[in-house]
Amino acid sequence: AQSVAQPEDQVNVAEGNPLTVKCTYSVSGNPYLFWYVQYPNRGLQFLLKYITGDNLVKGSYGFEAEFNKSQTSFHLKKPSALVSDSALYFCAVRDTYAGAGSYQLTFGKGTKLSVIP
Amino acid sequence: DSGVTQTPKHLITATGQRVTLRCSPRSGDLSVYWYQQSLDQGLQFLIQYYNGEERAKGNILERFSAQQFPDLHSELNLSSLELGDSALYFCASSEGVGDNQPQHFGDGTRLSIL
């Protein structure tokens, strides 16, 4: 079964500092990986995805994520945090193994990012 | 704006009642997904429809049902409501069956059971 873990419930970072939101996953085959952001009273917004190819994926709003197969991780990063980046971030995974039997995404529990002015 | 429309935004009702949540997917998207978001359970996948047919089921209770109509809009029906059904219900859509494509989420329906 596919699973994803976001080990930190909350991450605090000062404005202008680099930020990292961690994600690790477990699949039987190769993963499709996604990051989403949720602002208060809004739905999830797609940020970026890893399907195949370059391990460093660039997405919306200056975010990027690095796929690391050996560590089964897909951490979200941004070089310089903005106060407006404060939100809830979700990592999601789908197992491409044919026997997985599902096209469904499994979401992590979410990490609340607070950027302090 | 994701292009996914959910109505109503808020719904307050009592235990034992039945409600219907509506979702219009992004133009051109054939898949519709329903999720439940609560503080203790996080984001739980309920069910997926693709072009009118049920594609996958997740943690959906037997009291809940859904359908996708020929115009591709979808409805989620919740019956015999219990206090624990209070949550945010999200609809998402994607172009195909959901292979490597991102899902686009609506802003949700907040359901409160009194």
pLDDT tens for residues A37-96? Answer: 999 889 999 999 999 889 999 999 999 999 999 999 999 999 999 999 999 999 999 888
The maximal CA–CA distance of chain B, rounded, in angstroms, is: 40
Q: Which residues of A touch B4 (CB under 8 A)?
A: 43
- Chain B residue with CA closest to A34: the answer is B102
**Is A103 within 8 Å of B99 when comparing Cβ atoms?**
yes
**Is B42 within 8 Å of A107 when comparing Cβ atoms?**
yes
Residue A43 CB partners (closer than 8 Å, separation 6+): B2, B4, B90, B92, B105, B106, B107, B108
Give residues 73 to 102 of A whose Cβ lies within 8 Å of B: 90, 94, 102
DSSP, residue by residue, A77-114: EESS--GGG-EEEEEEEEE--GGG-----EE---EEEE
Whether pLDDT at A100 is above 70:
no
pLDDT at A99: 62
Structure tokens belonging to residue B38:
């609560």
Cα(B30)–Cα(B71) distance, rounded to whole angstroms?
10
Q: Which residues of A touch B108 (CB under 8 A)?
A: 42-43
* DSSP state, residue A100: G
Structure confidence by residue, pLDDT tens digits, B74-104: 999 999 999 999 999 999 999 877 678 889 9
Q: Which residues of B touch A36 (CB under 8 A)?
A: 105
Cα(A49)–Cα(B110) distance, rounded to whole angstroms?
28
Cα(B86)–Cα(B19) distance, rounded to whole angstroms?
12
| Secondary structure E strands in B25-86 | 31-38, 42-50, 53-57, 64-68, 74-78
Could you tell me how far CA A52 lies from the centroid of its own chain?
16
Residue A110: which of B42, B92, B104 has the nearest Cβ? B42
**Is A46 within 8 Å of B58 when comparing Cβ atoms?**
no
Taking the alpha carbons at both ends of chain B, their separation in whole angstroms is 31
Cα dihedral A96, A98, A99, A103 sign:
positive
Q: Which residues of A touch B98 (CB under 8 A)?
A: 94, 103-105
Residue A43: which of B45, B48, B105 has the nearest Cβ? B105
Q: Output the CA–CA distances (angstroms, integers) from residue B58 to A32, A102, A114, B98, in the order listed.
A: 19, 10, 32, 14
A102 pLDDT band, cuts 50/70/90, is low
